[in-house]
């Protein structure tokens, strides 16, 4: 696997999308050897984790939960 | 299995309640307005219960209810005036990435030190809808590409290309927000550059 292959597969890897065992091992082996790709990987992982955790951080209003419960009760 | 209506409600409620926080935040990202988000969730729940006898037990309830939510949004809340300009492919080519050239400061540290949660939400919410929905479903809610394709009724290849462009747009926006606030602003010219990958 070279740097170009890695960039192509990196998002699949980060998103937990199905890769073959062989592809997954090749990615991990490349990341251990190549500093440039490893930095890119670390940065991408950090960036999307920051987006994910901030995007999941809204709390749902209690009033909406009770509203939904009473809607269901009336079905 | 034949159930009484009361039993049906109980099963529905048990499946639904754990998903409400995710449905609400997704509704918020789509409507960009709390009041509309609450109405959208309520409307989607009402539709889902009406269709619940067609839900196959043991299949993916989460994907099923998200599909109802996104359809309800597109049919009842999304107006033409909300349409945003989608950047052209050429504009997308001007991709920026975080490229530190100072010793000892990582791009991760720069982001952490400059961006707030509001910046991140603002960036997500300013993506055109077709990119925003894919970004939210995959990157925030953790749906697989295949589930996302089913929720949005689009081919999986379209999910991947929208996700790819959505990521680029988001990264570009976050970079811009970060640069506007960076404490290293004065040294931008020589120190920090927006570099094409
Ligand atoms: Zn490499």
Alpha-carbon span B144 to A64, nearest angstrom: 28
Tokens of residue B37, six digits: 């988000």
What is the mean predicted confidence (pLDDT) over B80-108?
Answer: 63
Q: Which residue does chain B place closest to A64, by CA atoms?
A: B38
Do A51 and B124 make contact, defined as CB atoms within 8 angstroms?
yes
Letter string b/e over residues B53-87, b meaning 16 or more CB atoms within 10 A of that residue's CB: eebeeeeebbbbbbbbbbebbeeebeeeeeeeeeb
ipTM of this complex prediction, to 2 decimal places: 0.94
Q: Chain A contacts of B173, Cβ < 8 Å?
A: none
Per-residue pLDDT tens digits for B144-169: 999 999 999 999 999 999 999 999 99
Q: Which residues of B touch A14 (CB under 8 A)?
A: none
Measured from the Cβ of residue B140, the count of other Cβ atoms closer than 10 Å reads: 21
What spacing in Å lies between the alpha carbon of A62 and ligand 1's midpoint?
49
pTM of the full structure? 0.88
Q: Is the pLDDT of residue B193 over 60?
A: no
In which region does residue B95 sit, left (phi positive, over 0), alpha (psi from -120 to 50) or beta (all else)?
Answer: beta
**Cβ B159 vs Cβ B148: under 8 Å:** yes
pLDDT at B195 over 50: no
A36-74: per-residue pLDDT in tens?
999 999 999 999 999 999 999 999 999 999 999 999 999
Nearest CA in chain A to B125: A55
Cβ contact A46–B12 (<8 Å): no
Q: Which two tokens stand for residue B187?
A: 């040294």
pLDDT at B197: 34
| Residue B171 CA to ligand 1 centre (angstroms) | 21
């Amino acid at each position: 696997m070279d740097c170009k292959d890695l960039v192509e597969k990196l998002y699949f890897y980060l998103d937990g999308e199905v890769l073959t065992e062989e592809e997954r091992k090749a990615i991990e082996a490349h990341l251990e050897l190549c500093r440039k790709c490893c930095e890119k990987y670390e940065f991408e992982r950090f960036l999307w984790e920051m987006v994910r955790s901030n995007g999941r951080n809204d709390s749902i209003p209690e009033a909406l939960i009770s509203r939904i419960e009473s809607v269901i009760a009336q079905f | 299995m034949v159930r009484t209506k009361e039993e049906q409600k109980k099963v529905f409620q048990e499946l639904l309640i754990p998903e409400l926080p995710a449905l609400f935040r997704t509704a918020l990202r789509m409507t960009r307005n709390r009041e509309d988000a609450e109405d959208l969730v309520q409307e989607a729940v009402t539709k889902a219960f009406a269709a619940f006898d067609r839900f196959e037990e043991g299949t993916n309830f989460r994907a099923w209810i998200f599909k109802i939510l996104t359809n309800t949004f597109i049919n009842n809340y999304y107006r033409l005036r909300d349409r945003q300009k989608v950047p052209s492919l050429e504009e997308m080519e001007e991709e920026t990435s975080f490229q530190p050239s100072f010793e000892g400061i990582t791009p991760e540290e720069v982001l952490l030190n400059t961006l707030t949660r509001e910046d991140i939400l603002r960036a997500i919410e300013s993506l055109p809808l077709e990119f925003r929905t894919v970004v939210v479903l995959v990157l925030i809610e953790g749906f697989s590409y295949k589930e996302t394709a089913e929720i949005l009724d689009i081919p999986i290849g379209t999910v991947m290309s929208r996700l790819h462009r959505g990521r680029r747009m988001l990264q570009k926006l976050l970079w811009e927000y970060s640069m506007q606030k960076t404490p290293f602003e004065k040294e931008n010219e020589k120190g920090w550059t927006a570099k094409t990958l």
